Structure 1
């Protein structure tokens, strides 16, 4: 089978795209990058040269060029979320398959508009890169729960320190285990407790602004019951570093015969951490043992492993997260904000 021909929007010299997407796309025989679209043709040409892509790769500066290119099978979009609508709309209208980063749009209205364009364009595969659903550690936790290792699930608690946006840090963000959605609307508290951060240059440690205004919330408390099994959940996410000596993520799933504990250096399992760990406490023996799992793409860097799984599944015709799924997540987020009296 011929490789899937990729037109990549947003493959810059630094950032998420070269670290997470490029390693698999360049190493897999199933994909071939045939075009780059950055903000300027010169920027696209610079990326082609910087990453050693073939001279035949086309350099574009307009998303319409990607949409009109008959040699492109899949459009990958890795740009700022407020640019998603304008950037991928042309390709959706042209009926091209699209893979775009999460969030799908900057708000629910944009996400719904992109879903509408996807349906009107007859797009077969429209995927959102919520890659934690493909993470081997998440798959292993699901396997343990589904196999009855902890008996009947009673509840789950998820506590994490997010790091970014915390202490004024210097900064330059289908798989379910216990359910999908909530039986009733979740109860939430949102707060922005640290209103400034130190903004650095993207290419050096030069301080551009020592007190850059931060508007995103750095404290999220949520409680509810997951559907369809009405499992109680408690989630606590805050900015800043974790307590000294403690993990950045502590996720518990309590059952009738045992309990699972998942820990990591931070909450972002979609990216992964070197210190991720699953522990199983079996009540009958009162023993705690560590549970191992296999990393399919261990040869790739941590940011690229789960993204590689998304591409592998897409090639096999399985979508990691559809636009329909993404819009449902956007509706939940809007509900979370509304519960805190915020119009989002």
Structure 2
């Protein structure tokens, strides 16, 4: 079968793309990377050489040129979120299939514009990278609820620490501390987490949920890769405190709490309890980033109000041999090849709308 030919926007020397996207794209017979578009042709050529892509791989420095390439079936966008609109728009206008990382845009307005361009361009398949939906952990929790393991779900409580937004940050992740960039703890960390929670318990809310968004730590230390402090008081504008309470459309009351910084010593980075008539499901993880995945993620079930809990096995699959960042992304690509869309642009706009309402409720301009 002819592989899907991929044009990649943003395959740089480091960052998310090489560790999350490239392993499956290079290993699978279903895909072939035929073009790279970085900030310059030279940068694209360097990436082609660095990742040992075929010499026939085309090097572009302009997203418009990538979009014009008739050989490309799928354009993958893995640039920083404030560059999504400019870089992926030409491919949407050209009617290319696309895979865009979450957040879809740096704001609700940009996400809506990209949805509009997708529809006007006649794009047949457009997927957004809220890939925790594909995680075996999440699928197992859904299975436990659907099979009635804890009976009717009465309520759910989610508590996590976002790592970013703590006392220090590095140059590579400094943009996460700037709300105006559009990629921060509210959009990325909260956005991914609330999506997988709702994927299990139900999308939408009965009425408007109540929220608190606050930037309590106004300054951070900016620390270089060598451990030396570059700036003692680097201004931070992104929120580091996020609370949300409301009743999901499924009727389940939800309490959600996310703060910046590292977890308390000896405590998980995420604890998610789902309480039902017959017991409680508890999901714990060293980090709230279920979309990435970590060793030590665990599901436990307490039957009734007993004093013991059972650890539930999560079945592995063919992607367990990959490093964690690549596993759920590979599952998205496999589903895409089979005709299934992990998260549509329409879904993504709904997630953006929730975050925009939270900003508005807290007097923040997105």
- Pick the TM interval, shorter chain: over 0.9
Give distance in 2, aligned partners of 1:52 and 1:326: 34
What per-residue deviation string (whole Å, max 9, x for no partner) do you get for residues 46-104 of structure 1?
A: 00010111100000000011100000000000001111011011000000000011111
Number of the residue aligned with 1:249: 270
Contact 2:9/2:36 (CA < 8 Å) preserved in 1? yes
Contact 1:161/1:248 (CA < 8 Å) preserved in 2? yes
Number of the residue aligned with 1:197: 220
Per the alignment, in what secondary structure is the counterpart of residue 320 of structure 2?
A: coil
Tell me how far 1:295 sits from its aligned partner. Answer: 2.9
Tell me how far 1:116 sits from its aligned partner. Answer: 0.5
Name the CA shift for 1:261/1:330 in 2 (closer, same or farther; >3 Å).
Answer: same
What per-residue deviation string (whole Å, max 9, x for no partner) do you get for residues 229-279 of structure 1?
A: 210000000011111111010100000001000000111111111110000
Pick one of 258, 265, 270 that aligns with 1:237. 258
Please, which runs of 5 or more residues in structure 1 have no aligned partner?
none
Pick one of 268, 279, 282 that aligns with 2:289. 268
Please, which runs of 5 or more residues in structure 2 have no aligned partner?
173-187, 189-194
Pick one of 228, 243, 256 that aligns with 1:221. 243
Per the alignment, in what secondary structure is the counterpart of residue 21 of structure 2?
A: helix
Tell me how far 1:152 sits from its aligned partner. Answer: 0.4
Tell me how far 1:197 sits from its aligned partner. Answer: 2.5
Number of the residue aligned with 2:207: 184
Give distance in 2, aligned partners of 1:57 and 1:113: 31
Give distance in 2, aligned partners of 1:211 and 1:20: 33
Name the CA shift for 1:204/1:37 in 2 (closer, same or farther; >3 Å).
Answer: farther
Pick one of 260, 279, 304 that aligns with 1:258. 279
Contact 1:100/1:128 (CA < 8 Å) preserved in 2? yes
Written as runs of structure 1 = structure 2, the 5 A alignment for 1:258-297 is 258-283=279-304, 286-296=307-317, 297=319
* CA RMSD across the alignment: 1.5
| 1:99 lines up with 2:99 in the alignment | yes
Alignment TM-score, normalising by the size of structure 1:
0.96
Number of the residue aligned with 2:332: 310
Give distance in 2, aligned partners of 1:211 and 1:10: 31
Name the CA shift for 1:285/1:234 in 2 (closer, same or farther; >3 Å).
Answer: closer
Name the CA shift for 1:289/1:171 in 2 (closer, same or farther; >3 Å).
Answer: farther
Count of residues in Structure 1 that have an aligned counterpart in Structure 2:
342
Give distance in 2, aligned partners of 1:54 and 1:268: 33
Written as runs of structure 1 = structure 2, the 5 A alignment for 1:70-81 is 70-81=70-81
Contact 2:153/2:275 (CA < 8 Å) preserved in 1? yes
Contact 1:8/1:75 (CA < 8 Å) preserved in 2? yes
What per-residue deviation string (whole Å, max 9, x for no partner) do you get for residues 120-152 of structure 1?
A: 000001111000111110001000011100010
| 1:52 lines up with 2:73 in the alignment | no
Give distance in 2, aligned partners of 1:125 and 1:205: 44
| 1:332 lines up with 2:351 in the alignment | no
Number of the residue aligned with 2:182: none
Per the alignment, in what secondary structure is the counterpart of residue 299 of structure 1?
A: coil
Give distance in 1, aligned partners of 2:9 and 2:219: 31
Contact 1:7/1:34 (CA < 8 Å) preserved in 2? yes
Contact 2:169/2:223 (CA < 8 Å) preserved in 1? no
Per the alignment, in what secondary structure is the counterpart of residue 177 of structure 1?
A: helix
Contact 2:160/2:271 (CA < 8 Å) preserved in 1? yes
Name the CA shift for 1:86/1:204 in 2 (closer, same or farther; >3 Å).
Answer: farther
Tell me how far 1:339 sits from its aligned partner. Answer: 1.6
Higher helix proportion (structure 1 or 2): 2
